[in-house]
Amino acid sequence: MRRNQPCVVLTGAGISTESGIPDFRSPTGLWAQFDPMEYGTIEAFRSDPEKVWRFYAPRISILTEAEPNPAHHALAELERLGFVQAVVTQNIDLLHGRAGSRKVVEVHGSIRASTCPQCDASHSLERVLALLEERPEEAPRCASCAGVLKPDVVFFGELLPERAMEQAQALAASAGLMLVVGSSLEVFPVAGLPQQTLNAGGELAIVNLGPTPFDGRAAVKVEASAAEALPEVARILRQRSA
């Protein structure tokens, strides 16, 4: 990280598991318990948005109640110290920003707001939570046209936010180091970002429990939880920068 700058961090669900947020693809992950085709696709939402909200509502509560863990705080500190240029995240939980990271690119959207597919009105997370509390048995509806709101997260079958992906690709291509944290690098197009860094002559480091397709090409692979590894990285760099 000291030698190869700028450093861009790419995070996946594994960085948030120690905040109590389930991942998706592990044997105990969300999609081991629920069929993603039934609850996680844009087609499922369009055909039965009420059903999707019955699945989604308790999980949005988990996300909003979760707190950033030491890994999130370590990345924010590394940014303050000048070792991290930006965080590109597949996570929708807002924990990077709450931990203090300033430049965060959310390539899978976030829970920050929900949008009405009928009139395009945007509703804040606070408003959506209030609607769910008022009528917990109903999907939240638009204040303007009464359409069922859609969370501003990327469902299977949807395109990723164009501006966010353009930012992520530009950061990857200019990175001297991409640090992948808590991602199995299985979901494209985001899983292709490390290749862009390598193609441009940058290096790759991975902190993840479990294998990734890029392990053999990484300069460093740390098989450990992010909440254990990243604070130690921050501690060492903090001491050497003092």
Q: Is the pLDDT of residue 174 over 60?
A: yes
Contact in structure between 155 and 41 (CB atoms under 8 Å) = yes
Whether residue 96 lies in the annotated active site: no
pLDDT tens-digit map of 216-228: 999 999 999 999 9
pLDDT tens-digit map of 176-210: 999 999 999 998 899 999 999 999 999 999 999 99
Question: Looking at residue 37, what is its pLDDT?
Answer: 61
What is the arithmetic mean of pLDDT over 74-85? 97
pLDDT band at 240 (very low <50, low <70, confident <90, very high): confident
Q: Which long-range contacts (CB under 8 A, 24 or more apart) does 158-165 make?
A: 158/42, 160/107, 160/108, 160/189, 160/190, 161/106, 161/107, 161/109, 164/105, 164/106, 164/107, 165/107, 165/189
Q: Is the pLDDT of residue 29 over 50?
A: no
Q: Is the pLDDT of residue 31 over 50?
A: no
Contact in structure between 10 and 190 (CB atoms under 8 Å) = yes
* Predicted TM-score (pTM) of this structure: 0.92
Question: Looking at residue 40, what is its pLDDT?
Answer: 78
Question: Looking at residue 58, what is its pLDDT?
Answer: 80
Question: Looking at residue 136, what is its pLDDT?
Answer: 82
What is the arithmetic mean of pLDDT over 14-22? 90
Write down all domains in the chain, each with its CATH number in brackets. 1-21+68-108+160-242 (3.40.50.1220), 27-65+110-153 (3.30.1600.10)
Catalytic annotation, pick one of 72, 73, 108, 123: 108
